[in-house]
Amino acid sequence: MVPLHFGSSERPLFGVYLPPTATPRPLGVVICPPLPQEAMRTTWTLRRLALALAELGFHALRFDWFGTGDSSGSLVEADLRQWRADLRAAVGELRDLSGGSSISVVGIGIGGSIALTTELAARDLVLWDPVVRGAQHLKQLLALHEATGARARGRANAALELLGYEMGAALMADIAAIDLLQPAQRVAHFKRVAVMSSAPSDEARALHAQLGARELVALPERAPARSAGELLISLLAPESVKRVSSWFNGEAA
């Protein structure tokens, strides 16, 4: 397991690379995290996913978006143009670390949405509870915030404090503009795509149908939090981790 910084020296990104612990395959998986509001909840799950993939012979790379986690910058400076560049950097980095492997991507929440809307050529894509409509997702986060009794507070330069994090106007606008059901937004090229949902919605089903994905995989443990309090508690999702890693294993066979 190798913690590292990668990307440009002006705005380095932090990642953790896991080489295969079983017979190596020339295959790698980049794991894209959700929004930082969901980081405390999902970090443990994503770590377990990387370990599970390594145990199946995959090279795995987890990373933090610019302005989040251990990566450089502040969230208020971030926008999706930068995060799409981060994803491309992560794919390139894993390709180098793995000696030129074919790279797949799994994205949880906004991570999946970014993967599908980034000019990227990769092997397979798993969308784990993707944000299908960004405006709706922001409304849900706002509702969680306001359920705590606090109002989401405006900050300087039209930024907004939402569930403990200051989000810049540009990032908010970019997220609000996401609509994965608009074919023009789905610019990534993947060989195979799976939509995996812990609470299959009409939108998830519609996305699955539009993508021509083989199956809509139901995940047993719910990733999206139902309250602000749940966001602070680590999600243990062993069965979901198994389903996701097994899907990659099946596709690689």
CA distances, 224 to each of 63, 96, 205 (Å): 20, 33, 17
Residue 206 Cβ vs other proteins, minimum distance, rounded to whole Å: 30
Q: Which is nearer to other proteins, 17 or 190 (CB)?
A: 17
- Residue 8, φ and ψ in degrees, nearest 5: -75, 155
CB of 39 or CB of 177, closer to other proteins: 39
Q: Which is nearer to other proteins, 40 or 206 (CB)?
A: 40
Nearer to other proteins, 44 or 220 (CB): 44
Residues 6+ away with beta carbon under 8 Å from 84: 114, 117, 118, 119
Spell out the long-range contacts of 112-117 with Cβ–Cβ below 8 A and sequence spacing 24 or more. 112/32, 113/178, 113/180, 114/32, 114/80, 114/83, 114/84, 114/87, 115/32, 115/87, 115/188, 116/180, 116/185, 116/186, 116/188, 116/193, 117/80, 117/84, 117/178, 117/180, 117/185, 117/186, 117/187, 117/188
Q: H-helix or E-strand containing 30? A: strand 27-32
| Residue ranges that bind other proteins, judged by CB under 8 A | 1-5, 12, 14, 16, 36, 39-40, 43-44, 47, 68-70, 72, 150, 155, 161, 164-166, 227, 229-230, 232-234
CB of 3 to other proteins, least distance (A): 4
9/202 with CB nearer other proteins: 9
How far, in Å, CA of 111 to CA of 190, rounded? 15
Q: Closest CB to other proteins among 151 and 214?
A: 151
Nearer to other proteins, 3 or 100 (CB): 3
Within 13 Å, how many C-alpha atoms sit on residue 119's CB side? Answer: 3
C-alpha dihedral, 185 to 189 to 192 to 197, nearest 10°? -30
